[in-house]
A = this chain, B = another copy of it.
Amino acid sequence: MIEAYRAAWTDLEAHFAGATAAAGLAFLPFGALEQHGPHLPLGTDTATASAVARRLAERLDGVLLPPVHYGDTWNNAGYPGTVGLSPATVTAIAVDLGRALVGSGARGLVIVNGDWGNRLPLASAVRILNDEGVLPAIALDYPGMAEAIELVRESVPAAPGLNHAEEVETSIMLALEPELVRRERFVAEYPEFPSDFGVRPMQLHGFSASGVFGDPATASAEKGQAILGATVEGSLAVLADFIRGL
């Protein structure tokens, strides 16, 4: 595994020159600077995506790119400290990086997305990269994570599929950066959502004063590690045929 931020250009050149398909992959963590309640850091999504991307790069001996620290966080923009990009900019970043990687000899781009709001703009980017023949590319939205959550979660989710600053995300951060988790600030919130929640785009600050959606009380580093491990395995499973086709 090569960490691009710390390597010299000649290291990258040498790595890609003799690389297998898997080792020719570049892994890009795409995060966000987004509110995660009073007890988790604004960098939670970036930390999570970076950790998953690092483990994938290690497992496949690929190249780990430095993370994109900002994402499309419109639905959390009502909480100060959330500092995001427009969806068009998220798309542009991923497309530009895909184009640039071609010149470095990369065989493919794997985006590890850590932010819900990045899903649409990254899907657009990946389609452009594949459709225009720039570079084989894929964006992973944590495959395998949902199933792993089911196995470990003790608390009730605030809404189906909604894990924001509650047991799940707090567990992940306890596993990754426990010193950034302020246990003394734990609060639980269970908002009431309208009938068009999840269908119509909505900003979240009207629903939760704290920015927590659910309850972090039962979080643990062990659960976090289990969720992260399953996400890495789920990602590797999805990538199997992607790599085969390179």
A: residues with CB less than 8 A from B are 4-13, 16, 26, 33, 35-43, 46, 65-70, 74, 77-89, 92-93, 96-97, 100-101, 103-105, 120, 123-124, 126-127, 130-131, 137-141, 143, 180, 182, 185, 194-196, 199-201, 211, 237-242, 244-245
- Minimum CB distance partner of A138 in chain B: B200
Q: How far is the CB of A85 from chain B (nearest CB, A)?
A: 4
5 residue pairs A–B, Cβ–Cβ below 8 Å = A4-B33, A8-B37, A8-B40, A74-B131, A86-B92
Given known contacts A89-B89, A93-B85, is B8 in contact with A127 (CB within 8 Å)? no
CB distance from A66 to the nearest CB of B (A): 4
> Could you say which of A101, A104, A180 has the most chain B C-beta atoms within 10 Å of its C-beta?
A104
Task: Return chain B residues, CB-CB under 8 Å to A35.
Answer: 8-9
A185 to B8, CA, bound (A): 10
Contact check, B130 vs A42: say whether CB atoms are below 8 A apart: no
Contact assessment for B5 and A41 in the assembled complex, using a CB-CB cutoff below 8 Å? yes
A200 to B200, CA, bound (A): 25
Distance from A9 Cβ to chain B, minimum over Cβ atoms (Å):
4
Q: Which of B8, B37, B84, B240 contacts A42 (CB 8 A)?
A: B8
Query: Which B residues are in CB contact (< 8 Å) with A141?
Result: 199
Q: In whole angstroms, what is the CA distance A133 to B219 when docked? A: 39
Which residues of B are found within 8 Å of A84, using beta-carbon distances? 96, 100
- Pick the contact of A180 from B6, B87, B237, B239 — CB < 8 Å? B6
Q: Is the CB of B201 within 8 A of A131?
A: yes
In the complex, chain B residues whose CB is within 8 Å of the CB of A89: 89, 92-93, 96
Pick from B86, B124, B245: contact of A96, CB under 8 Å: B86
| Alpha-carbon gap, A10 to B205, bound state (A) | 13
